[in-house]
C-alpha cells in the first residue's frame, strides 16, 4: 500500500505534504495520518491551521502485490478553505465634533476571512444600537448628523464573521464653542474689511485732490474778450466843452452773424446842442457856404482857443457796466 497527499494552490507548484511508502511515513510539520498504518482509512490531520494552508488536497492510493505488480489505483481531491476571524479593528473619527455639525465614525479590520460585518452601538448609561442608513455594515462607518451635547459618549464597533469577532471603541465629545476654523475665518474677514475701508479712504482723498487741482490751474488757451470797434467819423463837441457822443458819417455796420450773448453794445446819443465843424474854403473858386452857428453855440476853434479839452464821457450799458 502506497499513500500520498498533495497540496495544489493557485499560482504555485504541486506540493507533497505526506507520503506512506513501504511502511514508512514522511510528512510536513503539523501534517499526519489520523490512523496508524496499515489501515483502510488514510485520512489526513492538519494541526495549527493557518490561512496559507488553504487549497486543494489530493489523495492518491496505490495497491501492489508482493511481486510489485500494481493491482489498483485511486485518487480523490478535497477543497480546504481556512477561515480567519477578524483582526482587532481600528476606530476613528472624521470631522469636528461640534454642536450642529456632522461626523463619521469609522471602523476597519485589516484581516478577516470571510469579510467581516460591522456593528456600532453606544455604551451605557445611554445604550443605543444603530442600523441602516446611519450604519454601513459593509464599510463599518456610522454617520452622526446635527450633533448635540447629549450625543457625547463612548461608541463601540464590533467586527464579526463566522469564526470570531473583535471590537474597538471611540469617545465622542461634542463641544459647544466655535471651532478653530470659525475663529480663523472671523479674523481674516476683519482684516479684509479693514483693508477695504482703508482703500476707500485713500480713493476718496485722491479724488478730492484731483477735483481741487483743475480749479487752481490757469487755462493758457483762454481767449481774450472781443474789443468792440469804434466807428470812424467826425466828432461833435457839446457846447459845454465835453465829448458826449460819437457819430459817424457812414451807417454802423452790424458784425457778421448774431451777436454773442452778454456782448456789450455801445449806446449812441447826440447832445441837444450840437455845433457843426467849420467848413474849409474850397479852392475851385466856388463861394464858401456861410457857417450858421447854432443858436447859443460856440465854435470848436473858439473852444480850442479857450483851452477846452475834449473828454470822453463813458456811457453805461443796460447791464450796469461802463462802455
pLDDT at 38 over 90: no
Dig out the grid coordinates for 125 from the structure: 448609561
Q: Is 130 exposed, middle or buried (0-12, 13-18, 19+ CB in 10 A)?
A: middle
Per-residue pLDDT at 285 exceeds 50 = no
Spatial neighbors of 233 by CB under 8 A, at least 6 apart, are 246, 247, 248, 249, 250
Q: Label residue 179 by pLDDT band (50, 70, 90).
A: low
Residue 124: pLDDT above 80? Answer: yes
Report DSSP state, residue 40. Answer: S
CATH fold of the domain at 2-80: Immunoglobulin-like (2.60.40)
User: For every residue of 218-272, which 3-state class applies, written as one string?
Assistant: CCCCCCCCCCCCCCCCCECCECCCCECCECCCCCCCCCCCCCCCCCCCCCCCCCC
CATH ID of 90-172, from 3.40.50.2300, 3.20.20.70, 2.60.40.10, 3.40.640.10:
2.60.40.10
What would the pLDDT profile of 61-86 be if each residue is shown by its tens digit?
988 877 767 778 889 999 999 999 99
Task: Please tell me the predicted confidence (pLDDT) of residue 202.
Answer: 82
CB atoms within 10 A of CB 102: 14
Which of 244 and 61 is assigned the larger pLDDT?
Answer: 61
Hey, which residues does 80 pair with through a beta bridge? 55
* Helix, strand, or coil (residue 190): helix
The pLDDT value recorded for residue 66 is: 73
Sheet architecture: strand order including 55-64: 24-27, 15-21, 2-8, 55-64, 70-80
Mean pLDDT over 225-245 rounds to 47
Q: Is the pLDDT of residue 180 over 70?
A: no
177 pLDDT higher than 60:
yes
Mean pLDDT for the chain?
A: 76
How far is 211 from 84, CA to CA, in rounded Å?
A: 86
Domain ranges of the chain: 2-80, 90-172
Sheet of 141-144: strand order equals 90-94, 103-108, 141-144, 135-136
DSSP-assigned beta bridge partners for residue 312: 243
Q: For residue 64, what pLDDT is reported?
A: 80
**131 burial level (CB within 10 Å; 0-12, 13-18, 19+):** exposed
Mean pLDDT of 102-110: 96
In this prediction the pTM is: 0.49
Residues 6+ apart with CB under 8 A from 159: 86, 89, 107, 109, 112, 116, 117, 118, 140, 165, 166, 167
Instruction: Give me the pLDDT at residue 275, please.
Output: 44
Identical fold between 2-80 and 90-172: yes
Question: What is the per-residue pLDDT across 256-283, written as a single tens digit (0 to 9) for each?
Answer: 444 444 444 444 443 444 444 444 444 4
Instruction: Tell me phi and psi for residue 18, to 5 degrees.
Output: -155, 145
Select the more confidently predicted residue: 289 or 314: 314
Query: Which pLDDT does position 187 carry in this prediction?
Result: 74
CB-CB neighbours of 142 under 10 Å: 23
Amino acid at each position: 500500500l502506497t499513500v500520498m497527499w498533495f497540496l495544489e494552490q493557485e499560482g504555485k507548484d504541486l506540493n507533497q505534504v505526506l507520503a506512506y511508502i513501504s511502511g514508512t511515513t514522511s510528512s510536513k510539520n503539523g501534517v499526519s495520518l489520523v490512523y496508524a498504518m496499515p489501515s483502510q482509512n488514510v485520512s489526513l490531520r492538519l494541526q495549527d491551521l493557518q490561512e496559507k494552508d488553504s487549497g486543494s488536497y489530493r489523495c492518491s492510493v496505490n495497491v501492489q502485490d508482493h511481486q510489485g505488480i500494481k493491482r489498483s489505483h485511486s485518487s480523490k481531491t478535497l477543497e480546504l478553505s481556512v477561515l480567519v476571524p477578524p483582526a482587532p479593528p481600528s476606530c476613528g473619527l472624521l470631522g469636528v465634533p461640534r454642536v450642529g455639525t456632522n461626523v463619521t465614525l469609522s471602523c476597519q479590520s485589516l484581516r478577516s476571512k470571510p469579510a467581516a460585518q460591522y456593528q456600532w452601538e453606544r455604551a451605557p448609561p445611554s445604550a443605543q444600537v444603530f442600523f441602516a442608513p446611519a450604519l454601513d455594515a459593509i464599510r463599518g462607518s456610522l454617520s452622526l448628523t446635527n450633533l448635540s451635547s447629549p450625543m457625547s459618549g463612548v461608541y463601540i464597533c464590533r467586527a464579526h464573521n463566522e469564526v470570531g469577532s473583535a471590537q474597538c471603541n471611540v469617545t465622542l465629545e461634542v463641544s459647544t464653542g466655535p471651532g478653530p476654523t470659525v475663529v480663523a475665518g472671523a479674523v481674516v474677514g476683519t482684516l479684509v474689511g479693514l483693508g477695504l475701508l482703508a482703500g476707500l479712504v485713500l480713493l476718496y482723498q485722491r479724488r478730492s485732490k484731483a477735483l481741487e487741482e483743475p480749479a487752481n490751474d490757469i487755462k493758457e488757451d483762454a481767449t481774450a474778450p472781443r474789443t468792440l470797434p469804434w466807428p470812424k467819423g467826425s466828432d461833435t463837441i457839446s457846447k459845454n466843452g465835453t465829448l458826449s457822443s460819437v457819430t459817424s458819417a457812414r451807417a454802423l455796420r452790424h458784425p457778421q452773424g448774431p451777436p454773442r450773448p452778454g456782448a456789450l453794445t455801445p449806446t449812441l446819443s447826440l447832445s441837444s446842442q450840437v455845433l457843426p465843424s467849420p467848413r474849409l474854403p474850397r479852392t475851385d473858386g466856388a463861394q464858401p457856404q456861410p457857417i450858421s452857428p447854432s443858436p447859443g453855440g460856440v465854435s470848436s476853434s473858439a473852444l480850442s482857443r479857450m483851452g477846452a479839452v475834449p473828454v470822453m464821457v463813458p456811457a453805461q450799458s443796460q447791464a450796469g457796466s461802463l462802455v
